[in-house]
């Protein structure tokens, strides 16, 4: 949490259409900042501008340009900023990152959310842990489906990977049977999210799960990694 005194203001300039691993770059960066305990961040959308290619982009009345400038801005301690910079540089791609010294006169009020430890990326070999999260399809968090929010949080925490499964039949603590209806009209199906990573990284992520999952089941069990390889991404 920020306190009054010296700090760093970070400004990240992107094109609205920029992507990172298939998702909007500014959305991915915002998720990354949120789930790494940054005190606050703002995304500002431009109405006109040009970049290194000197092509002028503006929002017309008929069509909306995806080339408009987007600015992400946040203020943090110098120590935290330098810890986040390597990943931010990768996520920003061809965008511009600007650092500016500033002074916090009045910090924001205390947040009820706990800041989770920042896990370091480790190579997975042999023994690992399997996390399973059982929730309902209708569960939500901050206006979005809970299972989508959890996967975004896992990606922001740099977990090795996550999968979401939709149940076709089951029941939970309320002893109410959930059954898939014809044409997939049911919005009360069971959802299972699985993630495999080192015990240290998964346990560091548990406070986030505790904050987001209000009703559900979370388990952590032993796993043996037989093979773990990254799929080559196409440029």
Dihedral over Cα of 172, 175, 180, 184: its sign: negative
CA geometry: angle 87, 92, 95, nearest 5 deg: 145
How far apart CA 193 and CA 166 sit, in angstroms, is 9
Those residues of the chain that have pLDDT short of 70 are: 1, 47-67, 108-125, 169-188, 227-235
pLDDT for 105 equals: 80
**Tokens (6 digits) for 100:** 């500016």
pLDDT for 204 equals: 93
Phi/psi of residue 211, each to 5°? -70, -40
Taking alpha carbons only, the member of 79, 35, 22, 29 closest to residue 201 is: 35
**Tokens (6 digits) for 138:** 């209708």
How far apart CA 211 and CA 136 sit, in angstroms, is 16
Residue 77 CB burial class (10 angstroms; 0-12, 13-18, ≥19): middle
How far apart CA 201 and CA 131 sit, in angstroms, is 11
Residues paired with residue 97 on neighbouring β-strands, in sequence order: 12
Crossing angle of helices 199-212 and 146-156, in 10° steps, is 140
> What SS3 class is residue 58?
strand
pLDDT digits (tens, 9 = 90+) for 44-78: 887 665 555 545 545 553 344 456 788 999 999 99
Q: What is the largest CA-CA distance in the chain?
A: 62
Domains of the chain: 5-104 (3.30.70.120), 126-225 (3.30.70.120)
Q: What is the pTM of this model?
A: 0.58
How far apart CA 23 and CA 32 sit, in angstroms, is 13
How far apart CA 179 and CA 187 sit, in angstroms, is 10
How far apart CA 90 and CA 84 sit, in angstroms, is 10
């Amino acid at each position: 949490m920020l306190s009054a005194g010296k700090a760093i203001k970070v400004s990240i300039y992107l094109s609205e259409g920029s992507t990172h691993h298939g998702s909007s770059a500014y959305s991915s960066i915002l998720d990354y900042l949120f789930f790494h305990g940054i005190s606050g961040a703002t995304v500002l959308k431009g109405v006109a501008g040009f970049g290194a290619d000197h092509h002028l982009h503006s929002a017309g009345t008929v069509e909306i340009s995806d080339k408009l400038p987007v600015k992400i801005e946040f203020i943090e301690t110098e120590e935290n900023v330098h810890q986040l910079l390597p990943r931010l540089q990768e996520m920003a791609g061809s965008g511009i990152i600007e650092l500016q010294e500033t002074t916090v006169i009045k910090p924001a009020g205390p947040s009820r959310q706990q800041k989770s430890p920042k896990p370091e990326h480790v190579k997975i070999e042999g023994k690992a842990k399997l996390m399973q999260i059982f929730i309902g399809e209708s569960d939500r968090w901050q206006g979005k489906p809970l299972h989508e929010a959890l996967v975004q949080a896992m990606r922001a925490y740099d977990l090795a990977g996550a999968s979401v499964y939709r149940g076709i039949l089951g029941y939970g603590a309320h002893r109410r049977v959930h059954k898939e209806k014809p044409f997939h009209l049911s919005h009360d199906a069971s959802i299972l999210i699985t993630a495999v990573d080192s015990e240290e990284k998964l346990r560091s992520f548990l406070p986030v799960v505790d904050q987001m999952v209000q009703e559900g089941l979370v388990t952590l069990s032993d796993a043996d990694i037989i093979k773990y390889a990254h799929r080559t991404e196409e440029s």
